[in-house]
Structure 1
Amino acid sequence: MLGAPEQSVTHQHDIDRIPEKDVTQEMLSGSGDNPEAWLVYGGNYEQHRHTTCEIITPENVGELELEYEMSVGSGSSMEGTPLIVPGDPPIMYQSNGPNHIKAIDPREGEVLWSYTYAVPNDVVLCCDDNNRGPAVYEDQVFMTTLDSGVVALDRYSGEEQWYHSTADHERGYSATWAPQVYEGTLFTGSAGGEYGVRGFHTAIDVESGDEAWSTLLSPETEWVGDSINQSGTTNWMGATVDEQRGKLYLPMGNPGPDFDGSVRPGPNRNSIGTLCLDMETGEHEWFHQESAHDVWDYDSAMPRILIRDVEIRGKERDVTVSVGKTGWLYTTDAETGELLVRSEPGCQQLNMFRMIPHIDEGRRMPFMPGGMGGNDWQPGAYNPDLGISYHKLHNSPQEAWWRFEEFEAGKKYWGGILEDEIESHPEGYNDHIGVITAFKPLTGEVVWQDWIDSDVYLWGGSMSTATGLAFAGNQNGELVGYDGETGDRLWEYDAGEAPISGDPISWYDPGTEKQYLAIQVGGSGWLRRGKRDDRLLVFSMEE
């Protein structure tokens, strides 16, 4: 990590403009129903990424205009979700890599304070210096840090209150996701599966910064020998909070090493799937696996969508929805983890689940989804009125080879090679590098698809609206407003040459009587990421 300050620094500009009104648990729990707010990473705890604002409609979306654009500074990873705290004015909390966060007046596009964390220069990262968003609670704002920590700031002043390290970053641990906060407890996970770490999830008291509990995610009884010590099985995207059950649903990553399965016999539980934890204790409740004994790097990292009170298989249930790198959508019972639906493929699946060759065999076998997915970390959106979810998937073949590697702490432990530049595509490849796919999670039906051509990978999240729209940016610099039912492109904005890797959000401001839409622009990821940028775009429409 180059260019980080030696000590963390806060710059204050016009902090008196921030209304001193604490964010209560009631506000967080009601965020998804409040058109003036976007208070948690997924819009609500259920991760629907759905706004109840009703000004922008399919009939008038063509009139949506850019209100302003602003530079946020670093020109690094721009994969984040800003938050909106309602007020007069509303306050936006926006973060980007490597570990920058700002309080912004979103009416004017003016920075009120900024904070830069002093990232150690010896952090080891898999796939970019990402920060995907903050969390807010009462008078605090929280950000994970690249050295596997969490920092708490006074959200009115930007001044640091505490820092907590969850693991040794020199061992290969890191943190890039938005944490979750519920009832005074912050939940954060683990990353570093490419470095032979062992995944964990941690609960932290927001007042003191002390750990309430920390639980290891690999089950002791289901791994062979000492392979569990380098098991991976991290949850490197944030948890979904189930308030009614007091549960967390974790998206689970790859086993370690990624490609050499010979050193870790068995199914490698709890890798590649959904793990349910008790929120009070961290105890394991259930697990559903999407790729047993995985050797294709098929992480299942998308934050889980929780859908309540739906009838499926003749019974009313709550369900969790996952779209992982395999390219299928999985709908599971939220109480038991039982698989209820596996969808039609959301992208192409060619040579899938065929054993990758050893490096010395001289064989080549392009497979897809490749190691990038399918759906990697990109958060999906769900429209509860239409019963449709929206997901951004890669559709590109890759090749991999396995080989034996000695484990060394703090060094990459892939157990092989992933090759992005391949000699020939598998038979049947449609030559589209990415696709935005709309599913019906309760039936598994693919409703529509928008195939995308580019030399760059498709990153970032999507958003749905109560008026039946879906919004998503793509790697060609286009922000698109879709008809959520048909997939027709109703509106497009050309942001330039840089990809759009951020997640769209929306809110209503009664002070201006406008609905706003914001998204971050810039390439991200570690392969074919595209041009860097540092812009925040804010669009608006009057009532």
Structure 2
Amino acid sequence: MSIEEDRAVQAAQDTVVRETDNGYRVLGAPEKSVTHQHDIDRIPREDVTQEMLSNSGENAECWLMYGGNYEQHRYTTADVITPENVDDLELEHEMRVGSGSSMEGTPLVIPGDPPVMYQSNGPNHVKAIDPRAGDVLWSYTYAVPSDVVLCCDDNNRGVAVWKDKIFMCTLDSGVVALDRYTGEEVWYTSTADHERGYSATWAPIVHDGTLYTGSAGGEYGVRGFHTALDAETGEQLWFTHTCPEEEWVGESINQAAGTNWMTATLDEERNRLYLPIGNPGPDFDGSVRPGPNRNTCGTLCLDAETGERLWFHQESPHDVWDYDSACPRVFIRDLEIAHRNQTKDVVVDAGKTGWAYTVDAETGELIERSEPGVQQLNMFRMIPHIDEGRRGTFMPGGMGGNDWQPPAYSPETRLIYYKMHNNAQEAWWRFEEFEEGKKYWGGILEDETEAMPDEYNGHIASIVAIDPATGERVWRDWIDSDTYLWGGSMATATGLVFAGTQNGDLIAYDGETGERVWEFDCGDAPLSASPMSWYDPGTEKQYIAIQVGGSGWLRRGKRDDRLLIFSMAA
């Protein structure tokens, strides 16, 4: 059956997102969720075990979670593709997924004969695919309520898998569990009231039957949280607000934001979660929230069993620049820090400030702050009030630095690879009355600046390698374009780093030197997604997959609906 006859695809195509004064609104979604089965008998009936998930980072034949492993390394041990032969990498499948909305996701691949890929994109659409043949096995579209409002597009960045289920966060701040063999709904749980402005766009994680998911909606005056659900039933096990009441003044805690809107990182030995935490609320008016606004713009550590807050590292106290620290944290065990004569387990993050921060995984204490990956001009200068007639250009702007784009870590090179924005924005603050479900920015953020700082180098983005032990910026590739850089990177056991650009180029770098060793022109649409890879023993090939299409907060870049699968024979 062709994709044109797929009812779930048609439901996704009928679902549109319109920009309004209050953000983006979803219209035309189906009244009930739709599953369309094509060839489900082709899916091997082998459940994904906890042992498989725990070992996923070492198994070249799979990609079982958003970051490749619980540590969010985005690294494959598949070693067919090397710097010497990468020129032989070929495009094997160019699939149309049929729903050209936000394309920011990372597919999962479950090993088997054949392997099965689970690929998702906006608006809450997911497919099971046979990546050997390039065939769709089933499709599903979630029925998004028409009163959902979103700050930043109808994104869906991936799914999680455990046993016989896959799990997808939904735009109305929920989680839906699907039978991974049939695409049929098993359960749905709402984690917060979407009418207040809550939403969900990231890939959750599952460990020992517990699913972990966060919160989005910081632009609507919500209060951030992280929560744990029973993966079998959807029952809530614990719920923790990210910001503690005792650290905030008066009623400001109720609109504190501090949302956790990207995927958690798990330390299995300590049974801890490391969470990326966004801006305080309102974004630009700090006068209504005195103090440092702790537990915003930084890394929060939680006990994975109880949800207890253990430590927090803050990157931008009392933030008024929208400096979310959103990307997944990289956990590195036994990092040798020679100049300090230390070996430590560390958590590393690069937020919108453009610095990477290496902190002690046990205590959250800062070990190193890196050299910046982008220019920092007028940074941390107080933004003016809207009535003062002054302009305040600062850099990085509110999109970063590093926004949600997930980095990659290579145990071979011992470097972390980031994709960063190098662009200025202007902002003004003003007093706004809070109204539930309405935008609560406390000001204005302008993408187009009246005048760039004199020192601006003219490059809109960079791809950069950082040494987490020393903070050294080892190499940097400046990217030029009219649009910003989205999506993540991936490292390989052979020393390569793959990353897409907003110019439609998929690039392979030498991870040590930053030399471009291979490029593929994917067309005139941006690559807003993150690459992943696996080895298929049935075909004796290593594969790399990436989605194509523009998306994001500023809706820049041409839409597309392609999934590209590259391959190389061993």
TM bracket (short chain): over 0.9
Residue in structure 2 matched with residue 344 of structure 1 by the alignment? 371
Aligned to 2:150, what secondary structure does the other structure show?
A: coil
Identical-residue share of aligned pairs (%): 76
Alignment match of 2:421 (pick from 385, 394, 407): 394
Whether the aligned pair in 1 keeps the contact of 2:413 and 2:512 (CA below 8 Å) is yes
Whether the aligned pair in 2 keeps the contact of 1:152 and 1:161 (CA below 8 Å) is yes
Alignment match of 2:202 (pick from 177, 180, 190): 177
Provide the rounded CA distance (Å) in 2 between the counterparts of 1:255 and 1:276. 18
Count of paired positions: 543
Whether the aligned pair in 2 keeps the contact of 1:481 and 1:489 (CA below 8 Å) is yes
Residue in structure 1 matched with residue 396 of structure 2 by the alignment? 369
Provide the rounded CA distance (Å) in 2 between the counterparts of 1:360 and 1:9. 50
Residue in structure 1 matched with residue 467 of structure 2 by the alignment? 440
Residue in structure 2 matched with residue 526 of structure 1 by the alignment? 553
Aligned to 2:212, what secondary structure does the other structure show?
A: strand
Deviation, structure 1 residue 96: 0.3
Residue in structure 2 matched with residue 251 of structure 1 by the alignment? 276
Q: Tell me if 1:70 matches 2:95.
A: yes
Residue in structure 2 matched with residue 329 of structure 1 by the alignment? 356
Residue in structure 2 matched with residue 98 of structure 1 by the alignment? 123
Provide the rounded CA distance (Å) in 1 between the counterparts of 2:336 and 2:84. 32
Aligned to 1:507, what secondary structure does the other structure show?
A: strand
List per-residue Cα deviations over 1:460-500 (Å, max 9, x = no partner). 00000000000000000000011111111111010111000
List per-residue Cα deviations over 1:349-393 (Å, max 9, x = no partner). 000000000000000121100000000000000001111110000
Deviation, structure 1 residue 528: 5.3
Provide the rounded CA distance (Å) in 1 between the counterparts of 2:42 and 2:492. 30
Provide the rounded CA distance (Å) in 2 between the counterparts of 1:258 and 1:373. 14
Aligned to 2:183, what secondary structure does the other structure show?
A: coil
Deviation, structure 1 residue 310: 1.7
Q: Tell me if 1:459 matches 2:476.
A: no
Aligned to 2:394, what secondary structure does the other structure show?
A: coil
Whether the aligned pair in 2 keeps the contact of 1:456 and 1:528 (CA below 8 Å) is no
Provide the rounded CA distance (Å) in 2 between the counterparts of 1:393 and 1:448. 13
Aligned to 2:57, what secondary structure does the other structure show?
A: helix
2:449 partner amino acid: I
List per-residue Cα deviations over 1:176-229 (Å, max 9, x = no partner). 000010000000000000000000111000111100001111111110010000
Whether the aligned pair in 2 keeps the contact of 1:457 and 1:527 (CA below 8 Å) is no
Residue in structure 1 matched with residue 259 of structure 2 by the alignment? 234
Q: Please, which moves more after superposition, 464-473 or 307-316? A: 307-316
Q: Tell me if 1:86 matches 2:95.
A: no
Alignment match of 2:163 (pick from 138, 152, 155): 138
Could you state the TM-score of these two structures normalised by the residue count of structure 2?
0.95
List per-residue Cα deviations over 1:271-292 (Å, max 9, x = no partner). 0000000000000000000000
List per-residue Cα deviations over 1:321-375 (Å, max 9, x = no partner). 0000000000000000000000001100000000000000000121100000000
Residue in structure 2 matched with residue 57 of structure 1 by the alignment? 82
Q: Tell me if 1:47 matches 2:72.
A: yes
Q: Unpaired runs of 5+ in structure 2?
A: 1-25
Residue in structure 2 matched with residue 416 of structure 1 by the alignment? 443
Deviation, structure 1 residue 314: 2.2
Alignment match of 2:387 (pick from 341, 355, 360): 360
Could you state the TM-score of these two structures normalised by the residue count of structure 1?
1.00
Aligned to 1:501, what secondary structure does the other structure show?
A: coil
Aligned to 2:463, what secondary structure does the other structure show?
A: strand
Deviation, structure 1 residue 3: 2.5
Whether the aligned pair in 2 keeps the contact of 1:457 and 1:528 (CA below 8 Å) is no
Provide the rounded CA distance (Å) in 2 between the counterparts of 1:529 and 1:505. 24
1:350 partner amino acid: L
2:458 partner amino acid: D
Alignment match of 1:20 (pick from 10, 32, 45): 45
Residue in structure 1 matched with residue 191 of structure 2 by the alignment? 166
Provide the rounded CA distance (Å) in 1 between the counterparts of 2:394 and 2:533. 38
Deviation, structure 1 residue 451: 0.6
Provide the rounded CA distance (Å) in 1 between the counterparts of 2:259 and 2:309. 14
List per-residue Cα deviations over 1:403-433 (Å, max 9, x = no partner). 0000000000000000011111012000111
Whether the aligned pair in 1 keeps the contact of 2:386 and 2:428 (CA below 8 Å) is yes
Q: Unpaired runs of 5+ in structure 1?
A: none
Deviation, structure 1 residue 529: 1.9
RMSD, matched Cα: 0.6
Deviation, structure 1 residue 316: 2.0
Provide the rounded CA distance (Å) in 1 between the counterparts of 2:335 and 2:262. 26
Residue in structure 2 matched with residue 278 of structure 1 by the alignment? 303
Q: Tell me if 1:503 matches 2:511.
A: no
2:369 partner amino acid: R
Provide the rounded CA distance (Å) in 2 between the counterparts of 1:508 and 1:516. 6
Q: Please, which moves more after superposition, 182-191 or 311-320? A: 311-320
Q: Tell me if 1:404 matches 2:431.
A: yes
Aligned to 1:226, what secondary structure does the other structure show?
A: helix
Aligned to 2:387, what secondary structure does the other structure show?
A: helix
2:210 partner amino acid: T
Residue in structure 1 matched with residue 290 of structure 2 by the alignment? 265
Whether the aligned pair in 1 keeps the contact of 2:153 and 2:555 (CA below 8 Å) is no
Alignment match of 1:429 (pick from 451, 456, 462): 456
1:430 partner amino acid: N
Aligned to 2:287, what secondary structure does the other structure show?
A: helix
